């Protein structure tokens, strides 16, 4: 290998590693509320109820529930909301970041969208995510147990194929595990036994669906699965509680989830819109002519 080739390759690897770190960080932040992505009104003045899709929201604040509808409580929130999603193995999502912490980190407007098809096994499970952050666009897929990643100019606008034998697989698996937190049902289950307060705030129309708007407080000292909530033990101890907003339809299915996370003394707000729950979704691997050989990237 000539010195010039080595310099180019090293530079490419450094840039790629940096982009992967950025991608993992944004994926973790978005899917935390996605809860998740997000998966509580922002105490610092941001308005999370309008941060994801202003044009799709028609607020009709109402104190009284519709006829025949029984509001959720702290005692039954997890049971009812997870039961409503039990048979829904597919969904599409769009998520954004906002709030003072996002602004301070240059992440305001960072967006992620994709789809999830949950199967019986890893081979049956498929995920797709497109992310735009800091002027870069990433497209990642998990299909048939293999990863495909398009990182723009870094991969020459083609997909890098990562199989079980590739050294970079562990890094991608960790990232995709974070993306799996976009499964709202799994995140809601992680709140079991830890929901301390549920308040119905009224109704709002989200993407054409009338929903009941709830503020949900989770006591993190009682949460048994902090990882699915997107935080670790140290953060949980410091935060004490975690605030969510859920927008559920008459059948308790979520159409928007907002999560507020204190970050270095500032609020980070992640907002996720969920659509096509339970609808047929097909995620397929890129065609062969869109896949790049690592050797062509100097790897």
CA-to-CA separations, 49 to 33, 65, 71, 259, in angstroms, rounded = 13, 19, 20, 11
- Angle, helices 169-180 vs 3-31, to 10°: value is 20
| Model confidence pLDDT, tens digit, residues 155-213 | 888 998 887 555 455 555 555 555 554 456 667 888 989 999 999 999 999 999 999 99
Q: Tokens at residue 234, please?
A: 């140290």
CATH no. for residue 89? 2.50.20.20
CA separation for the pair 280, 299 (Å, rounded): 38
Question: In a 10 Å sphere around its CB, with 0-12 CB exposed, 13-18 middle and 19+ buried, how is residue 231 labelled?
Answer: buried
Q: Quote the domain boundaries for residue 162.
A: 7-294
As a whole number, mean pLDDT of residues 121-130 equals 83
* pTM value surpassing 0.75: no
Structural domain contains residue 1: no
Structural domain contains residue 167: yes
Cβ of 90: how many Cβ atoms within 10 Å?
17
Number of domains in the chain: 1
CA separation for the pair 118, 194 (Å, rounded): 26
Cβ–Cβ under 8 Å, residues 27 and 180: no
Structural domain contains residue 299: no
CA separation for the pair 223, 21 (Å, rounded): 28
| Model confidence pLDDT, tens digit, residues 229-263 | 878 888 888 889 999 999 999 999 999 999 888 77
Structural domain contains residue 155: yes
What is the pLDDT, as a whole number, of residue 225? 85
């Amino acid at each position: 290998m000539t010195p010039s080739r080595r310099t180019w390759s090293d530079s490419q690897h450094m840039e790629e590693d940096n982009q992967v770190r950025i991608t993992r960080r944004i994926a973790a932040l978005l899917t935390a509320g996605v809860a998740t992505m997000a998966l509580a009104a922002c105490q610092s003045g941001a308005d999370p109820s309008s941060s994801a899709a202003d044009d799709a929201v028609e607020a009709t604040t109402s104190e009284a529930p519709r006829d025949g509808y029984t509001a959720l409580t702290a005692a039954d929130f997890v049971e009812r909301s997870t039961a409503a999603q039990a048979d829904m193995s597919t969904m599409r999502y769009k998520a954004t970041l906002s709030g003072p912490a996002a602004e301070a980190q240059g992440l305001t407007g960072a967006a992620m969208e994709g789809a999830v098809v949950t199967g019986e096994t890893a081979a049956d499970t498929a995920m797709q995510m497109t992310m735009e952050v800091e002027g870069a666009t990433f497209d990642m897929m998990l299909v048939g147990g293999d990863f495909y990643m398009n990182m723009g100019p870094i991969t020459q606008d083609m997909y890098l194929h990562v199989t079980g034998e590739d050294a970079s697989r562990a890094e991608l698996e960790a990232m995709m595990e974070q993306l799996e937190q976009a499964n709202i049902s799994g995140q809601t289950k992680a709140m079991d036994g830890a929901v301390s307060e549920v308040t119905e705030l009224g109704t709002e129309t989200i993407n054409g669906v009338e929903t009941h708007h709830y503020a949900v407080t989770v006591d993190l000292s009682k949460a048994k699965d902090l990882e699915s909530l997107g935080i670790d033990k140290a953060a949980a101890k410091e935060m004490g509680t975690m605030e969510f907003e859920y927008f559920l339809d008459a059948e308790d299915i979520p159409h928007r989830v907002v999560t507020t996370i204190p970050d270095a003394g500032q609020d980070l707000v992640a907002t996720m819109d969920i659509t096509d729950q339970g609808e047929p979704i097909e995620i397929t691997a890129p065609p062969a002519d869109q896949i790049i050989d690592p050797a062509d990237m100097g790897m």
